[in-house]
Amino acid sequence: MKQGAPKRSTRPARPGEDPQRLALLAKALGHPARISIVRLLQANASCAGADIVDRIGLAQSTTAEHLRILREAGIVLSEVERPRTAYSLNPAILAPLAEFLSALAHSSGRDTPSAA
């Protein structure tokens, strides 16, 4: 192995820790507007799309695109309540990502190269 090359972990993935799923969740959360939407839904059990648009302060079409990305990742659920659509957070879907990040935050540093 070349000097300075990062070491590959031989630790097996934990149950429910699908790297592709973790990456999808992280990518879906990878925009400040989507973080704002998730925080809004965390504080409110349910929000109408128009209320999210008003609170986020972005155009309706832009907000709809962010909501689409969050829905496709499973982070946000939607339910049609004529004439509106109500959105809610699906926190259970984020559990594997939360566990992964918690493990990183509490890592002992064994698998990381030492700083020179």
> Range with the lowest mean pLDDT among 5-19, 59-73, 74-88?
5-19
Among 10-19, 29-38, 95-104, which stretch is predicted with the lowest mean pLDDT?
A: 10-19
- pLDDT tens for 44-61 read 999 999 999 999 999 999
Q: Tell me: the pLDDT tens digits for 31-41? A: 999 999 999 99
Confirm or reject CATH 1.10.10.10 for domain 19-104, answering yes or no. Answer: yes
Report d(CA 115, CA 20) in Å as an integer. 29
Measured distance CA(41)–CA(44) in Å, rounded: 5
Q: Give the three-class secondary structure for 69.
A: helix
User: What's phi and psi for 64, nearest 5 deg?
Assistant: -60, -40
Do residues 34 and 69 touch, judged by C-beta distance below 8 A? yes
Tokens, residue 108: 């002992």
